């Protein structure tokens, strides 16, 4: 019998079908249900993206108004979850808080099987969980959500207590739309694996949040901004980045398993950042980006490494006023639309996901009694 092919990291392995998003990494194209993300970023809000994923089409005006109203009504958080948010150690990482609070939403919840109403509710609740935890840890009172504000604006309002400007709301909406789905990335796959066991929605999303947290996935943007800040001046970029590579560190915000051309989201976010962030920071970020690309192309010519979505995400989320450690949780709030749509897709045509592994451990052997080992 020939040896099985081991696909480490499942690279290149197709494990199922999806009608949600298509990542064409070789040509740097990303489409959501057939719509190019450049087109979507110009025209839609996060709620419209969620409708597209959950229901298959962009909403009409009436459907949009209805979804916004339903999501605004779904923003209530049960008391026990608010108590947990208040009781978490103030130094908890917000991603740990989100993982815990999503899990707590599932406890005692009779409506936890994934369906349209449950996924809409959890998506609407996510920014509220984040804003509640963020304010409690800062010793501030919870600010109740405002029904007249959309998903993006309400999130910024609840964090800061000030109604965001139209430009801030627009920037966050574009970010939330762009990050809302991306094929079978690690966290989405984790959610689908859990869904495939017929587990509940909150278990699927708790697992997805855990997967997103890692720096090789969604945990990079705060580190990208830290890198830009540590570099400080464009003259320092080359020395700083070469020193990091010499220490075998990775330059955050560069490289992607799927993209062997520029990540189209990075291109859109770069343009957006030019408009919303302080000119000095934008210039520094651009110069760090150019230097990073040059050095990475030099040191890894075969890898075709480009700027990934995290690099300018960091700059934009900073520009709309978010603390660094809220970047990845905000990514989670966006990806909630995609995760939940993937869960619905998985359960609609389910087969337990259960891959195999090539065993490389010891040959069969006998157990010795404890005193004879």
Interacting residue ranges for ligand ACO, rule: CB under 6 A: 215-218, 220, 250-257, 296, 300, 303, 305, 308-310
Residue of 48, 289, 310, 345 marked active site? 310
User: Which 3 state secondary structure label does DSSP give 36?
Assistant: strand
Residue of 151, 182, 256, 318 marked active site? 256
The residue to which tokens 């700059």 are assigned: 315
Q: Shortest Cβ contact with ligand ACO: which residue?
A: 255
Between residues 153 and 266, which has the closer beta carbon with respect to ligand ACO?
266
The residue to which tokens 């694996």 are assigned: 193
CA distance 277 to 274: 6
Tokens of 135: 């304010």
* Rounded least distance, CB 301 to ligand ACO, Å: 10
* Rounded least distance, CB 310 to ligand ACO, Å: 5
* Rounded least distance, CB 273 to ligand ACO, Å: 16
Backbone angles phi, psi at 23, to 5 degrees: -105, 115
CA distance 38 to 87: 42
Q: By CB neighbour count within 10 A (0-12 exposed, 13-18 middle, 19+ buried), where does 364 fall? A: exposed
Sheet of 35-36, strands arranged across: 21-24, 29-32, 35-36
Residues 6+ apart with CB under 8 A from 94: 130, 133, 134, 325, 326, 328, 329
Between residues 154 and 334, which has the closer beta carbon with respect to ligand ACO?
334
Count how many Cα atoms sit within 13 Å of the Cα of residue 344 in the half-sphere of its side chain. Answer: 20
Between residues 99 and 182, which has the closer beta carbon with respect to ligand ACO?
182
* Rounded least distance, CB 248 to ligand ACO, Å: 8
User: Which 3 state secondary structure label does DSSP give 22?
Assistant: strand
Between residues 186 and 353, which has the closer beta carbon with respect to ligand ACO?
186
Between residues 81 and 317, which has the closer beta carbon with respect to ligand ACO?
317
* Rounded least distance, CB 228 to ligand ACO, Å: 13
* Rounded least distance, CB 109 to ligand ACO, Å: 29
Count how many Cα atoms sit within 13 Å of the Cα of residue 142 in the half-sphere of its side chain. Answer: 15
Residue 310 annotated to the active site = yes
Closest CA to 304 of 112, 25, 2: 25
Closest CA to 206 of 112, 75, 133: 112
Between residues 250 and 274, which has the closer beta carbon with respect to ligand ACO?
250
CA 313 to chain centre: 11
Active site residues: 256, 310
């Amino acid at each position: 019998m020939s040896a099985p092919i081991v696909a480490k990291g499942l690279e290149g392995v197709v494990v199922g079908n999806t009608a949600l998003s298509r990542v064409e990494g070789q040509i740097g194209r990303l489409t959501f249900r057939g719509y190019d993300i450049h087109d979507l970023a110009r025209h839609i809000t996060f709620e419209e993206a969620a409708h597209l994923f959950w229901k298959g089409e962009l909403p009409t005006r009436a459907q949009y108004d209805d979804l916004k109203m339903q999501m605004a009504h779904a923003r209530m958080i049960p008391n026990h979850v608010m108590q947990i948010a208040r009781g978490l150690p103030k130094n908890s990482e917000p991603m740990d808080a989100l993982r815990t609070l999503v899990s707590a939403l599932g406890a005692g919840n009779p409506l936890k099987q994934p369906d349209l109403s449950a996924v809409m509710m959890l998506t609407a609740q996510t920014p509220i969980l984040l804003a509640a935890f963020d304010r409690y840890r800062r010793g501030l009172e919870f600010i109740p959500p405002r029904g007249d504000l959309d998903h993006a604006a309400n999130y910024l309002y609840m964090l800061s207590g000030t109604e965001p400007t139209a430009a801030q709301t627009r920037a966050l909406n574009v970010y939330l739309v762009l990050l809302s789905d991306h094929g079978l990335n690690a966290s989405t796959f984790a959610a689908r694996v859990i869904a495939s066991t017929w587990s509940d929605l909150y278990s699927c999303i708790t697992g997805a949040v855990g997967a997103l947290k890692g720096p090789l996935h969604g945990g990079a943007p705060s580190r990208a901004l830290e890198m830009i800040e540590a570099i400080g001046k464009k003259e320092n970029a080359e020395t700083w980045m070469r020193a990091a590579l010499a220490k075998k560190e990775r330059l955050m915000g560069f490289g992607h398993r799927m993209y062997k051309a520029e990540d189209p989201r990075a291109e859109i976010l770069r343009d957006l950042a030019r408009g919303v962030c302080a000119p000095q920071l934008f210039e520094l970020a651009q110069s760090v980006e150019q230097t990073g690309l040059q050095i990475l192309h030099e040191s890894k010519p075969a890898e075709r490494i480009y700027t990934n979505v995290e690099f300018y995400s960091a700059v934009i989320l900073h520009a709309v006023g978010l603390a660094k450690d809220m970047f990845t949780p905000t990514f989670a709030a966006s990806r909630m639309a995609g995760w939940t749509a993937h869960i619905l897709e998985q359960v609609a045509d389910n087969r337990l996901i259960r891959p195999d592994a090539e065993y490389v451990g010891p040959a069969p052997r006998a157990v010795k009694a404890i005193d004879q080992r």
